[in-house]
Chains A and B, each alone.
Chain A
Amino acid sequence: MEFIQKKTADHAAEYFLPKAADKGTKLAWDRFEGQLPECGFCESGLSCRDCLQGPCISNPFRDANKMGVCGKDKDVLAAQSLLRLVLKGTMATLDQVSDFAEGVASGAVKSKDKAAAKKIVAQIEALLKDGGAALKGAFPKGLLASWEKAGIVPQGVAKDLFKASQKTEGGIAGVDEILSWAFKAALLGAFARKLQGALKQAVFGASAEEFEVNMGVLKGDAPTILLYGRFSPVLKVKIAEAAAKKKVAVMGVCTDPLLGPYAFAPVASYGSQELPLMTGAVDLIVVGDQFVNPSLVAIAEENKVVVVPTETLQGQDPEAFAKAIVDKAAAAFSFRRSRLRDIPEAKETALMGLSASGLAVKKIADALSKKKIKGIALIAGTNNVKFTQDLPFVTLAQEFLKNDILCLCEGDAGVSLAKYGFLNPAQTGKHCSKAVAELLKAAGKKLPAVIDLGLAENGGVTEFLLALSAAAKKPLGELPILACFAEANRSAEAGEALGLVAMGVSTFFWPCLPVTGGPKTLEALSKICKTKFGAAMVVHTDKKMEPLAKAGMILNVFNRVPDPSLKDHPWTDWKK
């Protein structure tokens, strides 16, 4: 099926598209086109593979197969599809947290603050078993009270994830109950992210740093290792240590770029992760699981790049493993000397990894209460091939900054924005309106137009939002803050979005979540969000909506202009 849409807004990525076509290399965009049309049942959350009597679907247009063999109807199927997504996302977060805690507990890295690290590792261990007691201190009382009332206070993996996963196994749980379990699992993820952020700070220290991003940072004259995806920070640090001794460059794709004192410059964002291999300037890649496209193996082979999976770490000493990786990279470099290194001249300076402690949060809260700015938008998510790569992020940031809205970003969305100079402190004036520029000047030293709060899994956003709520002395639901997952992709992002809604932050999410097949589920979801958290989860189904139209729709919410396409408006005081 034909699909006509500009593939990417990134010129460096665009440079390689005709080259890939000439060579016959299939990229994510080509594979997406091959998948079209995507299964409508799965897209709407109307399919089920939970038992072996199936697979079942709920056919919206025929009565014979409206229900699965076990009797799940379309609403239950849709609610369970969302729950399944959130469970997977929370497990992805927990996997990272447990890896990190294990690495720290083994003593492989020296912690900056040993006592704090030990305490957090104990908390993580408790969370992974059956107790999330530390949670009570991590969130403000108001939020905890509303979660308690809704029955969704997380209590640890055993009591949350195991039980929640059983809702897809059977039973007569209704839509409301299933959705509540999804929120519970999402909050467990939010708590885990907070712990991971705290542990990172205790072990590596706070680290906002300025560096360059995009493919132009690749080196033509030195062995280069690319770290792909999320994996143990302990191994990453060991690789960086070993590489520094041998003058091997280490960069990253979809991995935490900041691990004090080391920085791994992001070479690409998720959507174009295959392209750095085509430059010829990458000698070896170390790949984790999350965020890594399996297609990398074939493209690496085509370009004679060595691939080292982190799985092989099992049972190995990370230090020895890191040394072996660096040696392999050096050997690969000399072996690949004859290959052309075709590095596009595209790089941009970016200040990433800011945190609430490094910002004058009080001044931001004041600006909100004095209405100097209209609100705060959190731009989050990862590239999704359904949209022109980076274009939704860039359009939203551009439109918001012009219209007196302070923008925050996190994770891969940050990398995408960095490529276009939104995180370059020297370009602040170019993107922002006067009000935002003034606020940025007051809120910190040399801040870029968009404030990057670090990797999503480090909970920087939660920390900032809670600090802001404390400074403004108002619950988050009463502050004009919106989260925009402009091009979401990972299951963890669905979980994160639900967690933000539970904190009272209304959230826009694209592409639409697999709940649209159940009208009652959609209704229940919006009712829970509204009555229990005072926020809205906007699941928009229009696939062809232009980024500018999306920005306009969200701006309408900030400007309190009623929009007929938004029946579930985030704020009730529109008419005031």
Chain B
Amino acid sequence: MVDKEKCTGCHQCELWCGTEIASTSKDLARAIQETPQPVPRVYVEGKPFALQCRHCEEAPCLDACPNGTMRRDPETGLVYVNEPTCIACWMCVMVCPFGIINPSSSLKVAVKCDRCKNMGYPICAEVCPTGALSLVERKDYRKKKF
């Protein structure tokens, strides 16, 4: 979840997501030199506000995907892209209401946040210096007073 009051727009989440999740080397200095350029799964836009996948309960991307590449993990409920089967039709990119799915033109796959499902804790929340990004249950987030 994002606390928009705390987001300073420092882009650290983008940088470390690009390094830890999107790069093959997992080392910032080497990731910078990688081609194709690693594509982070989180974006800092406008206000500033860090945007990443909300893993919607009724996810339009799941409905739009023509061949079942976009999947929901039955255990965690997280929505993720099964990259080997992606045909790069970009339907998911078009229907996402938050605009967080990105087409990776070089790899021909849709790229989106899987909330670091293999790491236990999302890297963006781990590195956020102000604590604007945090992992909380949706029901707790609703109760939270900002």
Contact = CB atoms under 8 A, between A and B. Distances in A.
B29 A44 contact: yes
Contact of A62 (B33, B40, B127): B40
Contact of A61 (B29, B37, B126): B37
Contacts, number: 59
Interface in B15-42: 15-16, 18-19, 22, 27-33, 37-40
Interface stretch (B6-14, B68-76, B83-91): B6-14
B38 A1 contact: no
A516 interface: yes
Contacts of A39: 10, 12, 129
Interface string A293-322: 000000000000000000000000000000
Interface in A515-567: 516-517, 519, 541-542
Contact of B11 (A1, A41, A43, A512): A41
A196 to B, nearest CB: 35
Interface string A34-54: 000101110110000000000
A41 B15 contact: yes
A57 interface: yes
Contact of B14 (A43, A61, A74): A61
A542 B30 CA distance: 10
A59 interface: yes
Interface residues of B, number: 24
B135 to A, nearest CB: 14
Contacts of B31: 60-61
A43 B37 contact: no
Given A57-B11, A74-B32, A519-B33, A40 B27 contact: no
Contact of B32 (A1, A44, A57): A44
Q: Which of B19, B28, B40 has the most CB of A within 10 A?
A: B28
A516 B15 contact: no
Interface residues of A, number: 20
Given A517-B32, A541-B27, A60 B11 contact: no
A37 B29 CA distance: 15
B10 to A, nearest CB: 7
B39 A541 contact: no
A99 B133 CA distance: 49
Contact of A37 (B11, B12, B32, B33): B12
A512 B127 CA distance: 20
A59 B28 CA distance: 12
A406 B127 CA distance: 43
Contacts of A61: 14-15, 18, 22, 31, 37-40
Nearest to B128: A37
Contact of B29 (A59, A65, A516): A516
Contacts of B19: 40
Contacts of B37: 60-61
Nearest to B34: A60
Contacts of B22: 61
B141 to A, nearest CB: 22
B49 to A, nearest CB: 15
A519 B31 CA distance: 11
Contacts of B43: 62
A57 B40 CA distance: 16
Contacts of B15: 40-41, 59-61
A57 B30 CA distance: 18
B123 to A, nearest CB: 9
Given A1-B126, A1-B127, A40-B19, A59 B14 contact: yes
Contacts of A516: 28-29, 32
A37 B10 CA distance: 13
Nearest to A39: B12
B131 to A, nearest CB: 11
A538 B6 CA distance: 39
A66 to B, nearest CB: 10
A541 B11 contact: no
Contacts of A541: 27-30
A61 B38 CA distance: 6
A74 B37 CA distance: 14
B29 A512 contact: yes
Contacts of B39: 61
Contacts of A43: 28
Contacts of B33: 519
Contacts of A37: 12, 16, 126-127, 129
A273 to B, nearest CB: 26
Given A39-B12, A41-B12, A41-B15, 13 more contacts: A1-B126, A37-B126, A37-B127, A37-B129, A39-B10, A40-B12, A41-B11, A60-B15, A60-B32, A61-B37, A512-B29, A516-B29, A516-B32
13 contacts: A1-B126, A40-B12, A40-B15, A41-B11, A41-B12, A44-B32, A57-B11, A59-B15, A60-B15, A60-B32, A516-B32, A517-B29, A541-B30
5 closest A-B pairs by CB: A61-B18, A541-B29, A516-B29, A60-B32, A40-B15
